[in-house]
């Protein structure tokens, strides 16, 4: 019997109510409904990471994040658009994946990565999604064909955490792409073992 895929989400912000964090939660809830085991590293957790330095001994939080990503079958990265790109908080978390450099599967190798961007305008949604995809490519990850853009000036979740139909549709499709990719990877591993 195949094990449940593990999907690790990281992102959000330290805002009192982070719409990016809510979008990440919604994405992981959909993944859990689809049969995944999920774990989230939210804005407050990421704010506990030091600014990454190659010379520093990794903090306990950094090791925890790296271990979780190492064991993940797929990831979700959720960032607000800050001045046209990823927030420093989320980029710093990705920089910490340098700790996976010497792994058998370095960085995000072999893992699908869904990207969720929230911005108060569509232009920053687009530029930030492209920037985040470039970072995932640099980390050897496989960005899903669909990335999710949420314009937080127009789209906000209801009390149940659900977004409008457009955002829900995109989150659902992207989550299914993560689950599909993780399943294909597991099947390929089983075929060669």
Ligand X SMILES: Cc1cc2nc3c(=O)[nH]c(=O)nc-3n(C[C@H](O)[C@H](O)[C@H](O)COP(=O)(O)O)c2cc1C
Residues interacting with ligand X, by CB under 6 A?
Answer: 12-13, 15, 18-21, 80-84, 118-121, 124, 152
Q: In whole angstroms, how close is the CB of 92 to ligand X at the nearest point?
A: 15
Q: Which is nearer to ligand X, 84 or 183 (CB)?
A: 84
User: Distance (Å, rounded) from C-alpha 27 to C-alpha 108?
Assistant: 19
Q: Which is nearer to ligand X, 6 or 115 (CB)?
A: 115
Q: In whole angstroms, how close is the CB of 163 to ligand X at the nearest point?
A: 12
User: Distance (Å, rounded) from C-alpha 117 to C-alpha 81?
Assistant: 7
Q: In whole angstroms, how close is the CB of 75 to ligand X at the nearest point?
A: 18
Q: Which is nearer to ligand X, 23 or 100 (CB)?
A: 23
Which DSSP symbol is given to 114?
A: E
Q: In whole angstroms, how close is the CB of 168 to ligand X at the nearest point?
A: 17
Q: How many Cα atoms within 13 Å fall on the side-chain side of residue 174?
A: 31
Cβ-count burial 169-187 (b if 16+ within 10 Å, e if not): ebbbebbbbbbebbeebee
Cβ-count burial 23-59 (b if 16+ within 10 Å, e if not): bbbbbbbbbeebebebebbbbeebeebeebeeeeebe
No. of H helices and E strands in the chain?
Answer: 6, 7
Q: In whole angstroms, how close is the CB of 19 to ligand X at the nearest point?
A: 4
């Amino acid at each position: 019997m195949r094990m449940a895929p593990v999907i690790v989400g990281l992102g959000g912000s330290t805002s009192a109510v982070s719409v990016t964090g809510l979008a990440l939660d919604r994405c992981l809830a959909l993944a859990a409904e689809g049969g995944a085991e999920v774990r989230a590293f939210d804005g407050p957790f990421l704010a506990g990471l030091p600014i990454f330095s190659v010379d520093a001994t990794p903090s306990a939080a950094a090791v925890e994040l790296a271990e979780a990503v190492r064991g993940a079958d797929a990831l979700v990265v959720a960032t607000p658009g800050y001045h046209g790109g990823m927030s420093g908080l989320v980029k710093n978390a990705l920089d910490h994946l340098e700790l996976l450099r010497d792994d058998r599967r370095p960085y995000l190798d072999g893992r699908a990565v869904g990207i969720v961007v929230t911005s108060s305008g569509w232009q920053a949604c687009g530029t930030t999604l492209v920037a985040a995809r470039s970072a995932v490519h640099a980390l050897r990850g496989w960005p899903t064909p669909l990335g999710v853009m949420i314009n937080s000036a127009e789209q906000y979740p209801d009390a149940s955490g659900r977004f409008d139909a457009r955002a829900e549709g995109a989150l659902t499709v992207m989550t299914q792409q993560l689950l599909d990719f993780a399943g294909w990877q597991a099947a390929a591993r089983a075929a060669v073992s």
